[in-house]
Structure 1
Amino acid sequence: MERRQRTVAPPTVPGFRAVPFTGVIFVMAEAARLGYAYGHPDWCNLGQGMPETGALPGAPPRVLEAPITPADQEYAPVAGIPELRAAVAALYNHLYRQGKPSQYTADNVCICGGGRLGLTRTVAALGEINLGHFLPDYTAYEELLNIFRAFTAIPILLEGTDGYRFDMGRLEREILGRGLSALLLSNPSNPTGRTIRGLELASWVEAARRLECTLLMDEFYSHYAWCATPDEQGMVSAARYVEDVDADPVLIMDGLTKNWRYPGWRTTWVIGPRSVIDAVTSAASFLDGGGSRPLQRAAIPLLDPTHVREETAAIRAAFLRKRRIMADGLRAAGMRLDMEPEGTFYVWADLAGLPEPLNEGMGFFEAALQEKVICVPGEFFDINPGKRRSGRTSRFRTYARFSFGPEEASVAEGVRRIQEMVARARAK
């Protein structure tokens, strides 16, 4: 029933098919139908995965203008301008690879016009393989894994009772038993907040190397790692545990969207072995042709290590407060959390203990819209490429994802409205 609400009518022009909205886009479209618009003061957007983009105490000044040179009127290279590619490589070497003999260079980096585009370029370059992906995970993976038919997407179940952990024994059994040549995952995880770090992350990279299974690491929330040690400075990355940057099967996707709080710039990157970067760039040559040259040039100063540390520290101070407001507030409303989020700016909450119809994700979402509060039903993270599991009830139908990305006042107000909505439902 819930899945039908995600579809759109087919175009009336011959030759086109109906293309469903991805989960978050569906949510935002439904909210817009009821009057939501970006920045609307009456709405609390706890749905879309977007961090607050204004000034934060202790953070570097926000960029408010970008100069355009005569050369910027021309196309950028498909892989990105060399200066930005070199700056990305230098940042990863500084943060994660000091003292290591193998260092990233500009040839290990491909610049992309947004997070989804980086994922699309990467997936388009995959061969005829079995690709493992985890449940739950990022909603946009669903259509992405369905569009390109060269590979077969294999779901791997994670359990809330285990805190969404996946031990090395299970990882090896999945890779060997299912013949996986690649694994796609977000780390920290969207939506659960589960974060693989330290020795555990080192073990994943070692297993990928030993078992010849490529890790496709979506690290867009890697500076929102609440469990990171002081040595890690609030940041986690598989890049720390790569031995040979041109041989180890590890691809990392990140960008300005979340960790620098510039989602509107649509400036991201893929970093990995240069042979793979060549393939990803080749895919880009027919998919999109390259990104914005002026914004790529303006991004270079943002990759200065001092800037990155200051921005990450400011994020940590502001977002940890909002994390506490949301986690405590949702528990007070009667929701259960499988785990305290270790990363991201999301709380993944079980609604099963709430009164009907709030005890299921779609019912809660629709009721919350009437309070001008947006969230994302949990079933949308039960990614199902090709609808091969159609007709079955989602394991996550009683869950919802709540974002504490917006400003603190909006988060607190959204939680207050949710608590009042639940209280009224209990009183009936």
Structure 2
Amino acid sequence: MATPGTTVTSPRSRVSARIAGIRPSATLAVDAKAKALKAEGRPVIGFGAGQPDFPTPDYIVEAAAAAVRDRANHGYTAAAGLPELREALAAKTLRDSNYAVEPTQVLVTNGGKQAVYSAFATLLDPGDEVLLPAPYWTTYPESIALAGGVPVQVTADESTGYLVSVEQLEAARTERTKALLFNSPSNPTGSVYSREQVEAIGRWAYEHGIWVVTDEIYEHLVYDGVKAESLPVVVPEMADQTLVLNGVAKTYSMTGWRVGWIIGPQDVIKAASSYQSHLCGNVANVSQRAALAAVSGPLDAVAEMRKAFDARRKKIVSLLSEIPGVECPTPEGAFYAYPSVKALLGKEIRGERPQDTLELADLVLREAEVAVVPGEAFGTPGYFRFSYALAESDLVEGVTRFGRLVAEAK
């Protein structure tokens, strides 16, 4: 009870509105739930995790082990990254993308996620709009919003291979549009834009003075002779208004090492480096040394992974396409299939009528013991994301269970 004569005020929220508004990562949540059920002894097969199921190559691990014993790696280092790693990343970018940049145009970050957030934190003022093609990776809109920006969804579906057009982007553009988020090869769809499409989008962005933040982390995971085209290479004029994001996670099976990077104009990279100096200082030196070994070494490991992923890609598309009510385009990159399951919604399955893919995914987990990520996580309800970064035997068993369950739909 308040003391007479005092004013009672409403208690302040314990968590800021900015942070309270963040949605947890749906992909990590699905993976965590699958692991928890496995720990209880249930034979859950998880298609949620977006990470290669291969070990980090030995030569990279050995470089890290040597780095641990080197006293030079026990203290603070430059916030923007070890100079030799920035040089190596510039060389790697020229080798893999034919994009010539200076080491001073490279900022090393704590994984690809920090690269995404730092890019938008550096570019955006409150209210700036970012065009966000959907389906999108679940972290993109949260990073944009945390930086004060406004994500503007531009949706493509299976009829166009999940690829947005210049016409769609132009229809969404306003005087507040500051940037476009571009992801090819794509998570969650595995779609890859052709050189002609990349050029058209790049020239449109250049004409309207729009920044492009292009996430190229799946650059080496492409199939059927497809090539992942880097936008500032296809449209050189865009180099001064493009940030390229990348990392070692997918190419070298190093998701847990947490090393990513941003490449862009020197003034923007300098500003992002200043921000990072206050945010976290330097990326862990041992991880940087491991990344140096990775990007300076051969691409043999990713070639082997790509071969395995390609076989799984063909298998999962074949299996999913045989299931009534499921429509699965063939992905050209990454390691995801993104089938439409809209035809299954509203139908009775084991006494339930799931109305959306959140409910359907929960039913599939409970009844078939198969974990998938619903399309709501990627801005497009009515779809499931299946990661095929798991053993082929588990892949076949998981899709078979899923197919057996939904075959009961009536």
Q: TM-score, normalised by structure 1?
A: 0.81
Counterpart in 1 of 2:142? 143
Highest Rg: 1 or 2? Answer: 2
Letter in 2 for 1:31: A
Closer/same/farther in 2, CA of residues 156 and 188 from structure 1, 3 Å limit: same
Letter in 2 for 1:23: A
- Compute the displacement of 1:304 (Å): 3.0
Closer/same/farther in 2, CA of residues 274 and 41 from structure 1, 3 Å limit: farther
Contact 1:359 1:398 in 2 (8 A): no
**Match of residue 162, structure 1, among 160, 164, 171:** 160
Contact 1:123 1:148 in 2 (8 A): yes
Closer/same/farther in 2, CA of residues 111 and 242 from structure 1, 3 Å limit: farther
- Provide the C-alpha distance between the structure 2 equivalents of 1:70 and 1:163, rounded to a whole number of angstroms: 51
- Compute the displacement of 1:86 (Å): 0.7
Partner SS for 2:180? strand
- Provide the C-alpha distance between the structure 1 equivalents of 2:53 and 2:97, rounded to a whole number of angstroms: 27
- Compute the displacement of 1:367 (Å): 2.4
Closer/same/farther in 2, CA of residues 244 and 77 from structure 1, 3 Å limit: farther
Residues 253-301 of structure 1: CA distance to partner in whole angstroms, max 9, x if unpaired?
A: 1111112211011111111111111122122122222211111112212
- Provide the C-alpha distance between the structure 1 equivalents of 2:256 and 2:42, rounded to a whole number of angstroms: 20
Counterpart in 2 of 1:391? none
Letter in 2 for 1:270: I
- Provide the C-alpha distance between the structure 1 equivalents of 2:390 and 2:215, rounded to a whole number of angstroms: 22
- Compute the displacement of 1:173 (Å): 4.6
Letter in 1 for 2:162: Y
- Provide the C-alpha distance between the structure 2 equivalents of 1:84 and 1:304, rounded to a whole number of angstroms: 9
Contact 1:132 1:184 in 2 (8 A): yes
- Provide the C-alpha distance between the structure 1 equivalents of 2:42 and 2:157, rounded to a whole number of angstroms: 37
Q: What percent identity do the matched residue pairs reach? A: 28
Partner SS for 2:261? strand
Contact 1:121 1:287 in 2 (8 A): no
Residues 141-193 of structure 1: CA distance to partner in whole angstroms, max 9, x if unpaired?
A: 232222222x3332222233232233334434544x45422101321122122
Contact 1:352 1:359 in 2 (8 A): no
- Compute the displacement of 1:252 (Å): 1.0
Gaps of 5+ in 2: 1-10
Partner SS for 2:277? helix
- Compute the displacement of 1:31 (Å): 3.0
Gaps of 5+ in 1: 1-11, 383-395
- Provide the C-alpha distance between the structure 1 equivalents of 2:224 and 2:274, rounded to a whole number of angstroms: 37
Closer/same/farther in 2, CA of residues 108 and 415 from structure 1, 3 Å limit: same
Q: Does residue 1:330 correspond to 2:320, yes or no?
A: yes
- Provide the C-alpha distance between the structure 2 equivalents of 1:48 and 1:380, rounded to a whole number of angstroms: 13
Counterpart in 2 of 1:31? 34
**Match of residue 204, structure 1, among 201, 214, 221:** 201
Letter in 1 for 2:343: G
**Match of residue 230, structure 2, among 208, 226, 237:** 237
- Compute the displacement of 1:47 (Å): 0.8
- Provide the C-alpha distance between the structure 1 equivalents of 2:302 and 2:232, rounded to a whole number of angstroms: 18
**Match of residue 421, structure 1, among 385, 399, 405:** 405
Letter in 2 for 1:379: E
Q: Does residue 1:287 correspond to 2:290, yes or no?
A: no
Q: Does residue 1:111 correspond to 2:108, yes or no?
A: yes
Q: Does residue 1:318 correspond to 2:308, yes or no?
A: yes
**Match of residue 411, structure 1, among 370, 385, 395:** 395
Give the number of aligned pairs: 383
- Compute the displacement of 1:332 (Å): 1.7
Closer/same/farther in 2, CA of residues 223 and 199 from structure 1, 3 Å limit: same
Contact 1:54 1:62 in 2 (8 A): no
Counterpart in 2 of 1:386? none
Closer/same/farther in 2, CA of residues 317 and 403 from structure 1, 3 Å limit: same
- Provide the C-alpha distance between the structure 2 equivalents of 1:143 and 1:200, rounded to a whole number of angstroms: 27
After superposing the two structures, state which structure 1 stretch, 252-261 or 154-163, moved more: 154-163
- Provide the C-alpha distance between the structure 1 equivalents of 2:45 and 2:146, rounded to a whole number of angstroms: 33
After superposing the two structures, state which structure 1 stretch, 125-134 or 160-169, moved more: 160-169
Residues 36-60 of structure 1: CA distance to partner in whole angstroms, max 9, x if unpaired?
A: 59xx9933220121111238xxxx6
